[in-house]
């Protein structure tokens, strides 16, 4: 198949850990690579955010990346990109008129808008990665999404050929937006189980028990709850992996805020920031932890627990979104209520005090990650959805 992926703000070549660079970038890159490995002709279209970027890059994984000119060629907050989607769609329309793919898979709602506007009769599949209705519910007035986002997502549910959801909680939200059950499939995000393994390099660590959080430094990720939970585990350190470059940490507003939270809680000497790390170094940091925390207020899916499980590390996660699917409470880790530092601290303290249970959770996590979430299976499941959608499209065409 000729498959075009559209990911307007989250390119597969971006450095991970910035404000708008995280799990979606990893997902798109791994999906594109896996589809190419299975013999498909794959191109990823993403917005040009640097004037120095070439128009097209052929990656070592066998897929193409096209940098689409839409808006100024510099980084922009993703919530500011809606006004540039007509330009993005116009470029896609010209591209697909000359060389139409068999199908388009859009990632994020604005990618879906551009893809539907440009595709004509080409089937468009949609993965939202996050839904505006959920974001608005949890962030309220702090939500910076365009005000029309929820209604535009509702329209996408009507206009795309199929939706690929990443977890069961998302399906519930999509039903509330009017999507019928026969037009949605669940295919989770994945983890590279050849890279995230129990054995391998380990990042340097102190003699203290180590808790680790990994990902973007944004308030909804709940790092401040992890900081406050340190009061219940007086010997442990919390290592925060991600954020700006190490030499820019002191100037980062979220780093400053978390340091103030730590100081007020009396745990400032046990909070460590690494700054951004290369994707290749992430497994070593995960292996250095005794317990990995994933404690967002809400989470469309959440790749960090998969990476921890694949490395044989127990996970304490908030019982939200996709984390309820991936982390099996009492088997691969513990689930706690969101925004509850006391419950988090209690769960972490219990795990740190029980080495045998940590080992059992870690071993169960490895088995679960390899059986259900390895990328080869995720890609195969996604390809199966593609084939179902194409078969259905051909039936509709014949019926006409």
How much is the pLDDT for 399? 53
Q: Do 152 and 214 belong to one domain?
A: no
pLDDT at 24: 87
- pLDDT for the residue 20: 45
| Residues 234 and 163 grouped into a single domain | no
Helix (H, G, I), strand (E, B) or coil at 41: strand
**Does residue 6 sit within a domain?**
yes
What is the pTM assigned to this prediction?
0.86
Is the domain of 242 the same as that of 347? Answer: yes
End-to-end CA distance of the chain: 24
For residue 198, being part of any structural domain is answered with no
Same domain, yes or no: 360 and 387: no
Return per-residue pLDDT of the chain as tens, 400 residues. 999 999 999 888 875 544 445 678 889 999 999 999 999 999 999 999 999 999 999 999 999 999 999 999 999 998 899 999 999 999 999 999 999 999 999 999 999 999 999 999 999 999 999 898 888 887 777 788 899 999 999 999 999 999 999 998 899 999 999 999 999 999 999 999 999 999 999 999 999 999 999 988 988 899 999 999 999 999 999 999 998 999 999 999 999 999 999 999 999 999 999 999 888 899 999 999 999 999 999 887 888 999 999 999 999 999 998 999 999 999 999 999 999 999 999 999 999 999 999 999 999 999 999 999 999 999 999 999 999 999 988 766 555 5
Instruction: Determine the structural domain holding residue 66 and report its residue range.
Output: 2-190+375-399
Q: Are residues 94 and 225 in the same domain?
A: no
What is the tens place of the pLDDT at every residue in 226-238? 999 999 999 999 9
Query: Is residue 204 domain-resident?
Result: no
Within this chain, do residues 382 and 367 fall inside the same structural domain, yes or no? no
Per-residue pLDDT, 47:
97
- CATH code where residue 35 lies: 3.40.50.2000
* CA distance readout (Å), 13 to 33, 59, 60: 12, 9, 11
Residues 148, 237 share a domain: no
| Residue at 195 is within a domain | no
Residues 102 and 241 in one domain: no
Distance CA 139, CA 130 (A): 13
Statement to judge: residues 332 and 237 lie in one domain: yes
Total tally of structural domains belonging to the chain: 2
CB 322 within 8 A of CB 372: no
The answer to the question of residue 203 being in a domain is no
What is the pLDDT at residue 17?
A: 47
Could you tell me if 336 and 343 are in contact, meaning their C-beta atoms sit under 8 angstroms apart? Answer: yes
Judging by beta carbons within 10 Å of its beta carbon (0-12, 13-18, 19+), is residue 206 exposed, middle or buried? exposed
Kind and range of the H or E element at 375? helix 375-399
172 and 234 assigned to the same domain? no
Whether residue 329 lies inside any domain: the answer is yes
Does one domain contain both 184 and 224? no
Tell whether 38 is covered by a domain.
yes
Query: Is residue 200, in this structure, part of any structural domain at all?
Result: no
Minimal CA–CA distance to 3: which of 39, 54, 50, 46? 39
Do residues 135 and 238 both lie within one domain?
no
């Amino acid at each position: 198949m000729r498959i075009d992926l559209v990911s307007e703000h989250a390119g597969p070549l971006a450095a991970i850990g910035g404000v708008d660079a995280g799990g979606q970038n990893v997902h798109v890159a791994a999906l594109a690579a896996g589809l190419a490995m299975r013999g498909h002709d794959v191109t990823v279209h993403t917005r040009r955010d640097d004037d120095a970027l070439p128009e097209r890059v052929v990656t070592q994984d066998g897929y193409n990346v096209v940098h689409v000119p839409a808006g100024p060629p510099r980084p922009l907050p993703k919530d500011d990109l809606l006004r540039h989607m007509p330009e993005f769609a116009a470029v896609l329309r010209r591209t697909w008129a000359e060389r139409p793919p068999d199908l388009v898979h859009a990632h994020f709602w604005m990618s879906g808008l551009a893809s539907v506007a440009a595709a004509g009769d080409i089937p468009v599949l949609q993965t939202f990665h996050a839904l505006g209705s959920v974001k608005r519910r949890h962030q309220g007035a702090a939500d910076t999404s365009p005000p029309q986002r929820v209604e535009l997502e509702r329209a996408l549910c009507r206009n795309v050929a199929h939706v690929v959801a990443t977890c069961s909680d998302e399906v519930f939200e999509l039903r509330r937006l009017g999507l019928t059950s026969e037009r949605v499939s669940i295919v989770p995000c994945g983890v590279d189980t050849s890279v995230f393994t129990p054995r391998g390099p380990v990042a340097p660590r102190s003699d203290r028990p180590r808790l680790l959080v990994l990902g973007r430094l944004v308030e909804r990720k709940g790092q401040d709850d992890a900081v406050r939970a340190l009061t219940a585990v007086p010997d442990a350190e919390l290592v925060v992996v991600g954020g700006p470059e190490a030499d820019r940490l002191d100037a980062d507003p979220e780093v400053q805020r978390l340091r103030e939270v730590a100081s007020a809680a009396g745990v400032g000497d046990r909070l460590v920031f690494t700054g951004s790390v290369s994707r290749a170094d992430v497994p070593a940091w995960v292996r250095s932890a005794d317990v990995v925390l994933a404690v967002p207020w809400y989470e469309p899916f959440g790749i960090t627990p998969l990476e921890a499980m694949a490395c044989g590390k127990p996970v304490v996660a908030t019982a939200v979104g996709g984390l309820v699917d991936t982390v099996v409470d009492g088997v691969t880790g513990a689930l706690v209520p969101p925004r509850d530092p006391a419950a988090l601290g209690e769960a972490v303290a219990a795990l740190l005090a029980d080495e045998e249970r940590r080992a059992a959770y870690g071993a169960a996590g490895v088995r679960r990650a390899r059986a259900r979430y390895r990328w080869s299976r995720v890609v195969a499941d996604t390809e199966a959805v593609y084939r179902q959608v194409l078969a259905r499209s051909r039936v509709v065409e014949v019926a006409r």
